[in-house]
Amino acid sequence: MADSEWVIGVVGGSGLYAMDALENAQSIRVESPWGEASDDLVLGEIAGKRFVFLPRHGKGHRVPPSALNFRANIDVLKRAGCTDMISLSAVGSLREDLPPGKFVIVDQFIDRTFAREKSFFGAGLAAHVSMADPVCPRLSDMAETAAKAADADVHRGATYLAMEGPQFSSRAESELYRQWGCDVIGMTAMPEAKLAREAELPYALIAMVTDYDCWRDGEAHVEVHDILATLHANADRAVNTVVEFAKALPETRPENPLDTVLDISLITDLGVADRRVMEKLDAVCGRVFEAREV
């Protein structure tokens, strides 16, 4: 695969519903066979590079975590031509040294969600992608550098516990996750990261700490209004991080091993695969179908 143009998909989490840094911005609705995405996509440029922005919860935060159509969100980013994906997410901290306001570049996940569709594949066409290393190291390196350039207090490397929600943790759960070695906790990174891998979209997560969850003795439990105050304080820095990320991108995009993970992950003989399933996977698997002349 030759070097190509960057098209960066940015998914904004709680408190980040717009990307004012986009130049020549246009809002478009992209239809998906997987249902409705969270909102329209906003296409534009930053520092001469192409970006596609999607507010994960919709403008005004209309969609709660368990109701998010993660498959549609990833599918429309792929249809819009995205080559890579940055996730901006609010999280709680499970460590004393990750205080509110900290930016954390996540590299591992523990998925405790249970009420969500977690794969594009299933009956009719099976695939098994590796999630041993669930984020793209190249994107994560660039995200760390960009966050520092935006004057964020950055920590590199953390395990993200993905909980179902929408309720926050009990104290017992929070303590359990700390015993597991988890560093931050949130409700939206899974199955987002898994689906990005299936769609051959290299993925990096910039987590913005809003609170200490509820594990600290003698501290009041987390409340939404406290989280919102920290989110608003972090929003400008998050946008500036994306701007710094754009400014540092090379002119052309080198190939990435994650661009072709489906070559070794599809297990079904495409000659007997369900054609209706294949039609829904035209964006996710189109490269593979074309290469195999299906």
Q: How far apart are CA 85 and CA 201, in angstroms?
A: 6
DSSP letter at 30 equals: -
Structure tokens at 129: 């992608």
Catalytic residue among 39, 75, 213, 259: 213
Burial of 164 (0-12, 13-18, 19+ CB in 10 A): middle
Contacts of 205 (CB under 8 A, 6+ apart): 86, 87, 89, 105, 106, 135, 160, 189, 193
Catalytic residue among 84, 107, 183, 211: 211
The closest of 113, 290, 288, 119 to 185, measured between CA atoms, is 113
197: left (phi over 0), alpha (psi -120 to 50) or beta: alpha
Structure tokens at 38: 């969270």
The closest of 54, 52, 17, 13 to 37, measured between CA atoms, is 54
User: Considering all CA atoms of the chain, what is the largest pairwise distance in Å, rounded to the nearest integer?
Assistant: 63
Determine whether 213 is an active site residue: yes
Beta strands in 65-183 (DSSP E): 84-93, 103-106, 108-111, 154-156, 159-162
Q: Which residue has 């980040």 as its token pair? A: 16
Q: Which residues belong to the active site?
A: 211, 213
